[in-house]
A and B are shown apart, each in its own frame.
Chain A
Amino acid sequence: MAKLKPAVNSNDHIQGNEDAPIELVQYGDYQCPHCGRAYPIIKSIQKKLGNNVKFVFRNFPLSEIHPNAMHAALAAEAASAQNKFWEMHDIIYENQQHLYDVDLVKYAVKIGLDPKQFKADFEAPQYLEKIEIDFESGVRSGVNGTPSFFINGQKYDEDWDEAPFLAHLRSLI
């Protein structure tokens, strides 16, 4: 069974209760349609499990088949400089059909980012590096496509449609 390497740490984007009994990690690609389908499922699961779940997003852009995935990932990472990673993550998945650079800048403005700083951060090397670190950790952890989920450090290969996914997660509380 594939294990998450490295474990969730301070470099990660973490949403929800830090001490939750369930730690759900997703490796995702912003342009991947399956990830787009997973997005509302995760939202709903977070709502239903409340304080029982902590959600972590790591980047796994398959840029050869998804030409806008890397820039979308950079946009979300750049937004983290202004403490709006999750706002950017959300708005990108909600507008997955429009991920050209002009669109990304529009979303940045819409969620209230300072556009000048956003553009500078978008080109800052540390965010590209963060994405590459995420990607390599995914490869070493056995990520074989997107989305890939890890629950409490173990790869989850079962159905992630809401009903079975939620039932499985609830069984762990």
Chain B
Amino acid sequence: MLPIGTQAPDFSLHVTPDQKIKLSELKGKKVILAFYPADWSPVCGDELALYNQTLKFFHKHHAEIIGISVDSKWCHLAFSQDRKLHFPLLADFEPKGAVSKLYDVYDEVEGESKRALYVIDEEGVIRWNYLSPMGMNPGADGILDALEEMDKK
């Protein structure tokens, strides 16, 4: 993973079929990047379903969460509607996995992003990172501990 203290590389990806998000546009806010393998994973233990319910805890720290996978913008749209997600999903679709590779969290064998988290501060600097063991949902406690720590300074 990219080390803590480095500038988060900028990127621009589709967030809806006709709209893109550029990381640098979010300067001034804390950003949580949640890379995950694929849409449509089973529901109850699902990481995104959990983050969907913990948004208010992130917002308390002025942090926005963004999901990133190699699924297409159309797939994200359907998935997001089905799961009633209230945060954006970015399509790391073309060239496939380019941003995941840039953040050193691409699984070449599966052709998917690894399950990994980055917390980026208001200046675009990586302040926390976490690579989840295979098949493990990392929960939200690590993110919240990191955000709390950042607010102390």
Contacts and interface: CB of A to CB of B under 8 A. Distances in A.
A109 interface: no
Interface string A107-142: 000000000000000000000000000011001111
A62 B141 contact: no
Interface stretch (B12-20, B39-47, B119-127): B39-47
A161 to B, nearest CB: 15
For chain B, the bracket of interface size reads: 20 to 34
Contacts of B24: none
Interface in A142-157: 142-146, 157
A144 B36 CA distance: 14
Contacts, number: 56
A62 B48 CA distance: 11
Contact of A144 (B43, B47, B83, B86): B47
A17 to B, nearest CB: 30
Given A64-B84, A65-B83, A139 B140 contact: yes
20 contacts: A34-B44, A34-B45, A62-B49, A63-B53, A64-B49, A64-B85, A65-B44, A139-B54, A139-B140, A139-B144, A142-B142, A144-B45, A144-B136, A144-B137, A145-B44, A145-B45, A145-B50, A145-B137, A146-B44, A146-B45
Interface of A: 2, 29, 32-34, 62-65, 135-136, 139-146, 157
